[in-house]
Chain A
Amino acid sequence: MAGTINVAFIGNPNCGKTTLFNAYTGANLKVANWPGVTVEKKEGHATYQGQDFRLIDLPGIYSLTSYTMEETVSRECILSDDVDIIVDVVDASCLERNLYLTLQLIELGKPVVLALNMMDIVEERGMEIDLHRLPEMLGIPAIPVSARKKTGLSILLHAVAHHKDHASQSPFIHHHHKEHSSHRHDHHQEYAMVYRDDIEDKIDQVMEQIRSRYPDIPNKRWHAIKYLEGDKNVNEKYPLDLSGILDRDYEKEIINEKYDFIEEIIAEVLVNKSKNAARTDHIDRYLTGKWLGLPIFLAIMALVFFLTFTVGDFLKGYFEIGLDAFSSLVSSGLAGVHTSPMLTSLIVDGIISGVGGILTFLPNIFILFLALAILEDSGYMSRVAFVMDDIMSGLGLSGRAFIPLLLGFGCSVPAIMASRALEHRKDRLKTILITPFMSCSARLPIYVLFSSMFFGENAMLVCYSMYLLGIVVAIVCAFLISRFDGSRAEHALLIELPEYKSPNARTIAIYVWEKIKDYLTKAGTVIFIASVIMWVLLNFGPAGYVTDISASFGAWIGKAIVPVFRPLGLGYWQIVVALIAGIAAKEVVVSSCSVLFGIQNITTSHGMTAMAGTLGAMGFGAVNAYALMVFCLLYIPCTATIATIRRETESRRLTACFVCFQFLVAWVVSFAVYHIGLLL
């Protein structure tokens, strides 16, 4: 067998490309970013009949222009030597729109195999696709598959292996222009997509210029078309003076010509196309309805958080029992081998208490991400953008900006990255600024711990109020900023509303596993290191190893900063140290409290009782706890989020401004909450 075949998977958003990719690779993915940009790159491997395939999952895009980062990245990747063959995944139930990208891919000149996904839905709707005529018209193989039902997967790889060396098939071109072509070349024998005679003339003239100036460019026709479209990237890479040939931009006409051809294809290959998806329209009548849309969305979110807290807490109880048992086992084991008290303290009070405490929140995190994955995979997430558009418009943002905010409930890092979908930089920056106010899952342990300690039966309501407050603060900030910058006219909502579908178990499982893996990795790295550093800071002082924590370096740092936090009811050096440590990762606030207050397994019921007693003796009551939770909700995001803000804004200064702004907002709101709380 030949060496590895490099296959790029590409397709429109919502075409089932990721489900297909996952069907081949499972969870064995290498996820990274494309060099220099924050567009996710996924890679995996598959084997078929002894042949190894390296699969590259490209971002979901509608076209191959150079308007967005995703489009540029996909185009560069396909043109590079890194890709031998392209698998163009199309949603066969929306063939008309999907074929536009197909025609652009064919023009790129690399071998293309068309994967007709969602054929099961095509059948369900009583539609039929002429699978002989379609490849004839496009000049590439078309393989029917269903990623969800896992049918056609082997045949697709078989086709990939066979067609990797065929840049184009036999000359099967059937684009019938209304007028008879009098073009001097018969391009119908060479290319799938043939334009009007005058455009073809221009393409030929530009190709002549390319031949003489850049003889080594591999696909001259594609480059010529890009010159006609006025493509910025191609013009910058290969400057060419075409003033004598091109009198205007032909992009609009090229797009129209492609759609003319697509209409011709659809007319020939699609049977019973008028049968539409009545089910989606029916559901949309309620979910996007004028009166019901918003209440249904709020009810869904309330259910998500209800499940996160109730079912999550129920399961968390078992984790705590396990942690307790493990902690006792290690303690007695270390005592049995006569380990020094210092090392025992480091392992039991520092590492197990810190990292273990965070791991007990795994059930809550799992349920939250599971719910977000189901909302996304079912097709509901984009409806939220529509439902929220009116409200978001009032804030100077498009409804689309609500998706990053919603994802922010899971984790701020992917949420901030999701803001890339917004086209205007100003909108992006505003969304990035307010996204960290949405309460991420890392803050959940803080709420659960402090609300359970101080609010008893009302603990869940207190947790809810944090999420609500986060949304309110984000909205108020966005509103105030939009008043100041006065930019209201640019925010046009444009988002596809995919068909509703029952979520795919495999896709959901892989998505949730990735998030859980991140959480576990964080517990094993950042939180582990932070726990050890905290232990060192609290067990060493100017006099060396100390048994009295108040003589430690940590206490010294905390006491120096306490005056800043006293007006918020947080004038306790231990709390201040925990808040500083929480910048590493928000969960560290909880693990630090465990070390700071010398309470083992703080998240268990007896740990909480002990902690509440200690705090109560210091004069730290329910109002202080609420102010602390508010501060944790709003203050400086974690280091991973700060790094993402820096990458997305491409500015250190802006990042610093954002972080300062968030600290200021946290201080002001906590101050207000604390003093109002004292009055009540």
Chain B
Amino acid sequence: MILKEGKNLCTYRVCGIHTQMKLERRLEALGLTQGALITVLNNDKKGALTAKFRGTRFALGRQIADHIDVEEVSEDGRDD
């Protein structure tokens, strides 16, 4: 699934980022690397969402959230 399909307050593991190289590197430098955990905070709007990874909240535009592949993880951190 993609991050934009994520539910509020659910945690996901990043499987891959498929966007322009420069943006991908920026996201990785911020800690959104493959395998990183990301918690969706507010995905109520059509466009951008807010999420938390590596202890920091970010607002991510839809153009980004649509291109991040994630998988849900259970509360103990294991992949579902």
Contact = CB atoms under 8 A, between A and B. Distances in A.
Contact of A67 (B22, B48, B52): B22
A255 B55 contact: no
A289 B61 CA distance: 16
A94 B56 contact: yes
Interface string B62-73: 111000000000
A393 B48 CA distance: 10
A492 B45 contact: no
Contact of A284 (B27, B46, B50): B50
A494 B36 CA distance: 17
Interface string A236-261: 00000000000000011001100100
Contacts of A255: 25, 28-29, 33
Contacts of A496: 56-58
A387 to B, nearest CB: 9
A494 to B, nearest CB: 6
A63 interface: yes
B48 A390 contact: yes
A467 to B, nearest CB: 25
Among A95, A383, A495, max chain B CB count under 10 A is at A495
A661 B74 CA distance: 56
A204 to B, nearest CB: 24
B23 A492 contact: yes
A489 B64 CA distance: 10
Interface in B14-58: 19, 22-31, 33-34, 36, 41-42, 44-48, 50, 52, 54-58
Contacts of A393: 47, 61-62
A100 B29 contact: yes
B52 to A, nearest CB: 8
A493 B59 contact: yes
Contact of A259 (B23, B24, B33): B33
B55 A96 contact: yes
A290 B59 contact: no
A598 to B, nearest CB: 54
Given A256-B34, A390-B45, A497 B29 contact: no
A146 interface: no
A352 B59 CA distance: 50
A97 interface: yes
Among B29, B34, B45, max chain A CB count under 10 A is at B29
A399 B59 contact: yes
Contacts of A97: 30-31, 54-56
Given A259-B36, A389-B47, A399-B48, A493 B42 contact: no
B60 interface: yes
A65 interface: yes
Contacts of A285: 42
Given A96-B54, A284-B42, A290-B45, A492 B34 contact: no
Contact of B31 (A100, A273, A284, A398): A100
A96 B53 CA distance: 9
A541 B61 CA distance: 60
Nearest to B46: A390
Nearest to B51: A497
Interface residues of A, number: 44
Contacts of B45: 290, 389-390
A491 B50 contact: no
A497 B57 CA distance: 5
A96 B59 contact: no
B64 A494 contact: yes
A393 B30 CA distance: 23
Interface string A484-504: 000001111111111000000
A378 interface: no
B38 to A, nearest CB: 12
A385 B61 CA distance: 10
B42 to A, nearest CB: 6
B29 A489 contact: no
Contacts of A492: 19, 23, 60-61, 63-64
Contacts of B26: 62, 67, 494
A382 interface: yes
B44 A289 contact: yes
B34 to A, nearest CB: 7
Nearest to B61: A493
A288 interface: yes
Contact of A493 (B27, B30, B34, B60): B60
A95 B48 contact: no
A386 interface: yes
A281 B40 CA distance: 12
B59 A95 contact: no
Contact of B61 (A280, A290, A494): A494
Contacts of B60: 492-494
Contact of B41 (A67, A251, A284, A398): A284
Given A288-B42, A390-B46, A259 B61 contact: no
Nearest to B44: A290
A102 to B, nearest CB: 13
Contacts of B25: 65, 67, 251-252, 255
Nearest to A488: B63
B29 A494 contact: no
Contact of A497 (B24, B33, B36, B50): B50
B54 A493 contact: no
A468 B45 CA distance: 25
Interface in A278-302: 280-281, 284-285, 288-290
Contacts of B57: 280, 284, 496-498
B28 A96 contact: no
B63 A259 contact: no
24 contacts: A62-B30, A65-B25, A65-B29, A67-B26, A93-B55, A94-B56, A252-B24, A252-B28, A256-B34, A281-B41, A284-B57, A288-B42, A290-B42, A385-B59, A389-B59, A423-B22, A491-B63, A492-B64, A493-B59, A493-B64, A495-B59, A496-B57, A497-B58, A498-B57
Task: Return the 10 tightest CB-CB contacts between A and B, nearest first.
Answer: A493-B61, A386-B59, A290-B44, A497-B57, A63-B29, A492-B63, A492-B61, A389-B48, A97-B54, A96-B54
Given A93-B55, A256-B34, A498-B57, 12 more contacts: A97-B55, A259-B31, A276-B52, A284-B41, A289-B42, A382-B59, A385-B59, A390-B46, A393-B61, A398-B61, A493-B48, A495-B59
Interface of A: 62-63, 65, 67, 93-97, 100, 251-252, 255-256, 259, 273, 276, 280-281, 284-285, 288-290, 382-383, 385-386, 389-390, 393, 398-399, 423, 489-498
Interface of B: 19, 22-31, 33-34, 36, 41-42, 44-48, 50, 52, 54-64
